[in-house]
Amino acid sequence: MLSNFGSILFFLIFGAVFVCVNILLSRLLQTRNPYPVKLSVYECGELPEGNSWIQFNIRFYVIALIFLIFEVEIVFLFPWAVVFKDLGMFAFVEMLIFVGILLVGLAYVWAKGDLEWDKPEQVPSPELYRTDNVNSAVKITESVAS
Amino acid sequence: MNITLFDTIFYLLAFLTLGSAAIMVFSKNVIYSAVGLLFTFFGVAGIYVLLAADFVAVVQVLVYVGGILILLLFGVMLSNKITNIEITTETLHFLPASLVVIGIFVVLYRVFITTDWNPVGSYNFDPTTHEIGTLLMTDYLIPFEIASILLLGALIGAAYIARKD
Amino acid sequence: MILPILNSEITFLQFLPFDLPEPLISIIFLLIGASIIAVVASVLALVGVYLERKISAHMQDRLGPMEVGPHGIAQTFADAIKLLIKEDIVPQDADKLLHFIAPVMVFAATLAAFAVLPFSKTLVVSDLNIGLLYIIAISSFVVIGAILAGWASNNKWSLLGGMRSAAQIVSFEIPASLAVLSVIMIVGSMNLGDIVEYQKGGFFNWIIFKYFPFNFIAFIIYFIASLAEVNRAPFDLPEAESELIAGFHTEYSGMKWAMFFLAEYANMFLVGVVASTLFLGGWSSPFGDFLNSGPFPVFWIFIKSFSLIFVQIWIRWTLPRVRVDQLMYVSWKVLTPFAFVAILGVGIWMVL
């Protein structure tokens, strides 16, 4: 078992070294001609506006929180799944209770709308865009103007 | 002195853990702290492997790197309200903090010297998952089920607090 | 073959004194093995890129790359050489250290996941007893790498892309892990080799056909979730070029960008191998013992995973991209409940 983890550690180090060597090699081969405009951050060709280290939507945080709880739950389920074949019915009932309690949590966040992402604004219904009806097209122009 | 490869790996991992923990504590930049924390978690996972706890090691990476660190990074991105100041940390409340740290150190040190350590000469590196699963289903059944209630409470509480903004 | 020797009797990291030659020998073997896997992963990624361009071209009634070599077969190698000599531009305001660390982390984690994949009975570098859990765990480094790349670039699109990528991968990790659980329940082990051994003897032994339709559902869930985890269309929001330019690697160029690209296509292959190992019998032949020795296991695993990669490419060029709210809807409200149903179905069937 230890040797297996040893090879994994080795692979991690090897991968890191592989990338570093590649980047170094390309450093040696490339022509470098930096100037201020090239080194500016890309913002659709405009000059960058302000700093990009901005405040983020709380949605991301809530999703990460819910994920963390379920992750811990799944960590408990992995050893259960390994022994499930040996323990049979008893283990199954225990797992049902365990998962059942957590499904209450999922149902709670689902019902309370914590899993909803901010949806885009409702666009006008496609019926209004129909071109075969001149009156509706006029209506749209009027409604937009008002 | 006879230093084995095992010992070398252990000291390297210990150095990685403590060094990155130091970076995490002393860095002025929160993101650098988070990267330091990443390597601390990784080093701890490595030490778990050396202690023959394979399942715990992988879970350490899965939950701490894959869950808690991402949560921390999201939290940092979220809490950065003033856009033109870099995300930095400052040392506040130096005196009370050091008192707490010294207190914890005294308690831990007392535990360390009073515990009757029972060193195992060499341990066998068998897979532990099956054993953990069996113990969870038999001897530690009640803690296992209580854990689910704890997780439920954490989920509902977290969702509730986050929703109030 | 080097790798069978590697696997059989290597005692790397044992309680051996340094002056004994064994650790050095095993390190040399590992070095060779890791280089082979790294080269194979890179070549597979290049083949994947070529396939993607060719298949997408033919799907759209085009020819795709045709100039370099017959039918443009050397196009991606030419591209690799071009990327090697391209200028590496790091923005003035970027965090240079983290800008460098992020691709290293992403690629190293992807390569490390390859260590536990079984390509035949003996052709596996690290026959880890918790291999499946390990693959799920190590992919969390990729998430951190994406966030760091986005943050270090100091570009609004990059940061938004990195955050989206992370939120998406963690959301789909739940249904993916749950789908995998039913396989572990049936086999009773997290070792990828054991999972393949269980499915030996023909395609009717494959787990996808066991306890029909629950494992079939689990396979579909895993496949959809893996599409999202490798940021493939229709879940390629982190790289939605019409809104985020290129997501978290907008400010990357030259070799660093190539490393992200390589890791992305290597990841595609990785989830293909994992899905075929878990549900489609891995390296075992679909016809019992027929053609199941010598080099054939490697052939079968490649056939199976490249079929899955073909489906991935097919889906990418067929379906439009989903919105963020639809993405979260699919993950939390469709796949997760169905994954629980699959587990319950398999569990009830097994205890009865």
For chain C, the structural domain boundaries read 19-351
Tell me whether residues C166 and B58 touch, CB distance under 8 A.
Answer: no
- Compare CB distances from B62 to C17, C98, C137 and report the shortest one's residue: C137
Arithmetic mean of pLDDT, A29-39: 78
Q: CA gyration radius for chain B? A: 20
Tell me the torsion sign for CA atoms A124, A129, A130, A136: positive
- Is C125 within 8 Å of A11 (Cβ atoms)? yes
Q: What is the pLDDT of residues B8-17, one digit of tens each?
A: 888 889 999 9
User: For residue B84, what is the DSSP state?
Assistant: T
Tell me how far CA of residue B15 lies from CA of A122, B161, C187, C302, C352, in angstroms. 56, 38, 39, 41, 52
| Per-residue model confidence (pLDDT) at position B100 | 92
Q: What is the pLDDT of residues C214-231, one digit of tens each?
A: 888 999 999 999 888 888
Using an 8 Å CB-CB cutoff, list chain C residues near B58. 130, 133-134, 137
Tell me whether residues B137 and A102 touch, CB distance under 8 A.
Answer: no
Tell me whether residues C163 and A56 touch, CB distance under 8 A.
Answer: yes
- For chain B, the residues whose C-beta falls within 8 A of a C-beta of chain C are 2-6, 8-9, 31-32, 35, 38, 54-55, 58-59, 61-62, 65-67, 69-70, 73-74, 77, 122, 127, 129
CA distance C53 to A138: 46
Question: CA nearest B80: which of B31, B10, B21?
Answer: B31
| Per-residue model confidence (pLDDT) at position C317 | 85
| Residues constituting chain B | 165
CA distance A95 to A90: 9
Q: Which of B67-81, B136-150, C104-118 comes out lowest in average pLDDT?
A: B67-81
CA distance B100 to C190: 43
CA distance B61 to C140: 8
Using an 8 Å CB-CB cutoff, list chain C residues near B6. 13-16
Tell me whether residues A41 and C333 touch, CB distance under 8 A.
Answer: no
Return the number of other C-beta atoms located less than 10 Å from residue C212's C-beta: 11
- Is C91 within 8 Å of C154 (Cβ atoms)? yes
- Compare CB distances from A55 to B57, B71, B78 and report the shortest one's residue: B78
Write out residues in chain C with pLDDT < 70, as ranges.
1-26, 240-242
Strand partners, B29: B88
- Is C112 within 8 Å of A11 (Cβ atoms)? yes
pLDDT band at B88 (very low <50, low <70, confident <90, very high): low
Please enumerate in sequence order all residues whose Cβ is within 8 A of that of C148, keeping only pairs 6 or more positions apart, or say none.
Answer: B31, B35, C98, C101, C102, C105, C162
Mutate to test the interface with B, among A109, A110, A112, A116 (most CBs of B within 10 A): A109
Using an 8 Å CB-CB cutoff, list chain C residues near A23. 88, 100, 103, 255-256, 259
Minimal C-alpha gap between B50 and chain C (Å): 10
Using an 8 Å CB-CB cutoff, list chain A residues near B126. 1
Question: CA nearest A69: which of C174, B103, C341, B90?
Answer: C174
Per-residue tokens: C248? 């978290």
Average of per-residue pLDDT values in chain B = 81
pLDDT band at B106 (very low <50, low <70, confident <90, very high): very high
Tell me how far CA of residue C187 lies from CA of A63, C273, C317, C350, in angstroms. 32, 18, 36, 11
Using an 8 Å CB-CB cutoff, list chain A residues near B78. 55-58, 60-61
- Compare CB distances from B4 to C18, C98, C141 and report the shortest one's residue: C18
Question: CA nearest C99: which of C170, C162, C166?
Answer: C162
| Per-residue model confidence (pLDDT) at position A146 | 44
Residue B117 clears pLDDT 80, i.e. is over it: no
Neighbours of A, requiring at least 3 CB pairs below 8 Å, are B, C
Minimal C-alpha gap between B108 and chain C (Å): 30
A-to-C residue pairs, Cβ atoms closer than 8 angstroms: 236
| Per-residue model confidence (pLDDT) at position B104 | 94
pTM of the model: 0.84
* Chain A residue nearest residue B133, CA to CA: A79
| Per-residue model confidence (pLDDT) at position B40 | 92
ipTM above 0.85, yes or no: no
The whole-angstrom distance between residue C11's C-alpha and the CA centroid of its chain comes to 28
Tell me the torsion sign for CA atoms B123, B126, B132, B134: negative
Residue A124 clears pLDDT 60, i.e. is over it: no
Q: What is the SS3 assignment for B4?
A: strand
| Per-residue model confidence (pLDDT) at position C13 | 39
pLDDT band at A128 (very low <50, low <70, confident <90, very high): low
CA distance C49 to C55: 10
- For chain C, the residues whose C-beta falls within 8 A of a C-beta of chain B are 13-18, 23, 95, 98, 101, 128-130, 133-134, 136-141, 143-144, 147-148, 151, 159, 163, 166-167, 170, 173, 190
Tokens 């075929």 belong to residue: C276
